[in-house]
Every structure is written in structure tokens, then in C-alpha cells.
Homo-oligomer: A and B are copies of this chain.
Amino acid sequence: MAARELDPQERLDWLRLARTETVGPVTFYAMLRRFGSARAALEALPRLSNSRARPAPAMSRGDAEAELAALRRLGAQLVCWGEPHYPATLAAVEDGPPVLTVLGDPGLLQMPMVAVVGARNASANGRRLAGELAAGLGEAGIIVVSGMARGIDAAAHLGALDTGSVAVVAGGADVVYPPENRGLYDALAERGAVVAELPLGTEPQARHFPRRNRIISGMARGVVVVEAAAKSGSLITARFALEQGREVFAVPGSPLDPRSRGCNDLLRNGATLTETAADILAQLGPFLQSEMPPRRTPERNLPPRLPVAAMAPSPPPASRIPQDAALELLVEKLSPTPVAVDELVRQCHLSAASIATLLLELELAGRIERHPGNLVSLR
């Protein structure tokens, strides 16, 4: 089945489940697989509890309707995982957002994207390079995605404004941050797109930025870093890119300029040296020319790296040992250090389906955290 739009009722259910506290992206997809639909997952929520694990209540229908109405007033829209406008590359990321808020042209999200990111305190040369790289990518039909920060991000957006520029913001899609980028924000809303994972009105906080960065790299076929100090946010985006199997590009710079430290480190670790857009296009060529594989429905093709056993919806398992004892056993095996779910299946001598159900309960109770690679840890 090709990608399809959700009907209004499904969309409302997706939003309610996605906005439920303790339901992060990985939990969201796990519940969708487990219960077959967002509606069924919402209905199951109150039942998914025992003495130790008590889930937070779902977002109310009224709050969800209010958010959708606010989006309509703003001229924005909700794009759900698996819908035609949801970026194909982001759909393949294990913890990609179940719902995105998109202000501007959501059609841009269907085209091949490359991220251009970098230092906020960029040099004049760095800004110029970012703008030139973005324009060069744009000429080749690539949409440029960045984070709408000061410096490199802003220069990259401006360079690609005529060809396609997408900002992924850390707060709500209606919150302009930093305020000085009001003009850029308006231009992007008008001629590009502004994308957010979090609800309208959310003020961006420090903890939001790394999560935002994973969306930038997740949407892109490759991430280009232009000027970045050691240990800067751009390097977090580059790390996500590597984890997500994206190409990483870095612009070299003088060892005497601290703003080149991060880029030179990336180059030392295997990033592709980038002087012009041609360097990026040469490396990405095969990826850009090939169409993305046809997408299937969320129920059939949820993000990768999940055990095959968990892919097909199945009835709750009939455990051979009582649920409470099993939960106890499982919690005993968990620690703050992430462990593979497969390993837990082996060590607990329970079926993969039983472990999946127990983990879901613990997730919903906010007691465990999911990590890429099908790993879990105790919070």
C-alpha cells in the first residue's frame, strides 16, 4: 500500500497518543504495532497498569481538537508518520516523531534534503560558505534543511530560500527563536517550511535542541557541518547523522581558528572533506538519483531495528508465570545501562511477545527509556 493521508478521526487519535506524557516516539510505534491503531492504543492505556506501573492519562480529545484548530488558524498542518508529506528518510528513523507540525509548504518535505548546520558565532567566511553551499545544493534540486539558529544555519537558509529551505525548530512552529530571525522565519513560512515536533506555543529549552537535531539529520540524506567548535551542537547533529547512517560532510578550516576545531575533528574521523556543493553531490549522487523505496502503511513498515517477532500485532501473550512475577523478574534484569531487548528475552526465559508487553507497561509508567538499536534502560 502506498502512503496515505489519515482520516480526521485517525489524525485526532494519533495526536492524542503522540502528545500523551510518557509516550515517546518509540513507545508510540510499539503501541501502534501492539494494538493495531492509535485508537486501540488509547483505549488500552488505562488497562496497561498494575501496582507498579501506572501510565499518565492520554491527551484529551478536547485538547487535541484545540491544537488542530490552532494549527488551522496559523495556516499550519499536522503531518503524521507514513503520510505522503512525512519525509521518507525521517520515516526510517527508529525514533522519528509520530507527528510533525508544518508551517509553509509541506511538499518540500517529499524532496531530497541535505542539512547544512554550524556555529552560531560563525565567521563572515563561514556564513559565505554556508550560503554558497546551500545555493549550490539548491541548484542541484536539493532542499536545504537547518535549525534556524544564528550564524551558519541562518546563512544556509538564506542561500536556499529561492530553491527550497526547511527549518526544523526546537520549540513550537509558531515560536520565533532567536527573535532576531523574525524576518527569516517569515520568509520560510511564506516560501519554505518551518517544522516542529513539539506543540504550538512551546518555548525552546536546552533539552529540546538535541531532539530537534535528530530530526534535522533524520530528514537529510547527508549533514554538512560548516564551522563548529569542539563539543558544539553541530557535532551532536553529526553524531545523529552517523547513527542514522547518513553521510557526514565537513568544511575544513585553519587550525588557528577555534571555529574549525569541530569540523577538522569530523574530517579526522572520516567525514567527507567539503569545499563546494560538488563535493556533496559527488558523494550523495547515488542516493539522490535513486527513488526512495515505496513506503508501506505504518502498521506494516514501522521504523527498523525492531525484532521481527514484535512486528505483527498479536493478542496479549498467555504467560507461563504470573504477570507480576514476570515484571519483577524483568525489572531485576534492568539497570540504567541500556541492554538489548533480545538479551532480556534470553535471560528472562519469556517469549519475545511477553517481554514486549511488559516493557510497554514499564514505558508507559515512565520507568524505562528506549534507545536506538532496540535497547532499554531503567530511568
Quick one: given A264-B273, A268-B273, A273-B268, are A254 and B252 in contact (CB under 8 Å)? yes
Most buried by B among A125, A253, A255, A256: A255
What CA separation (Å) do A260 and B254 show in the bound complex?
Answer: 9
A129 at the interface (CB under 8 A from B): yes
Give a binary string over A64-88; 1 marks a CB under 8 Å from any B CB, 0 the rest: 0000000000000000000000000
Q: Which residue of B lies closest to A123 (CB)?
A: B254
For residue A254, which residues in chain B have a CB less than 8 angstroms away from its CB?
A: 125, 129, 251-254
Q: Which residues of chain A from 275 to 303 have any CB-CB distance to chain B below 8 Å in the complex?
A: 275-276
Q: Is the CB of A267 within 8 A of B252?
A: yes
For the complex formed, measure the closest distance between the CB of A269 and the CB atoms of chain B, giving whole angstroms: 9
Q: Is the CB of B256 within 8 A of A264?
A: no
Q: Is the CB of A255 within 8 A of B252?
A: yes
Q: Is the CB of B267 within 8 A of A125?
A: no
For residue A264, which residues in chain B have a CB less than 8 angstroms away from its CB?
A: 252, 273, 275
For residue A268, which residues in chain B have a CB less than 8 angstroms away from its CB?
A: 273
For residue A260, which residues in chain B have a CB less than 8 angstroms away from its CB?
A: 252
What CA separation (Å) do A254 and B255 show in the bound complex?
Answer: 10
A128 at the interface (CB under 8 A from B): yes
Point out the residue from B128, B129, B256, B267 that lies within 8 Å of A129, measured CB to CB: B256
For residue A128, which residues in chain B have a CB less than 8 angstroms away from its CB?
A: 256
Q: Which residue of B lies closest to A266 (CB)?
A: B273
List, sorted by A's number, 9 A–B pairs whose CB atoms are closer than 8 Å: A125-B256, A128-B256, A253-B253, A254-B254, A255-B276, A261-B275, A264-B273, A264-B275, A267-B267
Given contacts A129-B256, A252-B273, 12 further A-B contacts (CB under 8 A): A125-B254, A128-B256, A129-B254, A129-B255, A251-B254, A252-B255, A252-B264, A253-B253, A255-B274, A261-B275, A267-B267, A268-B273
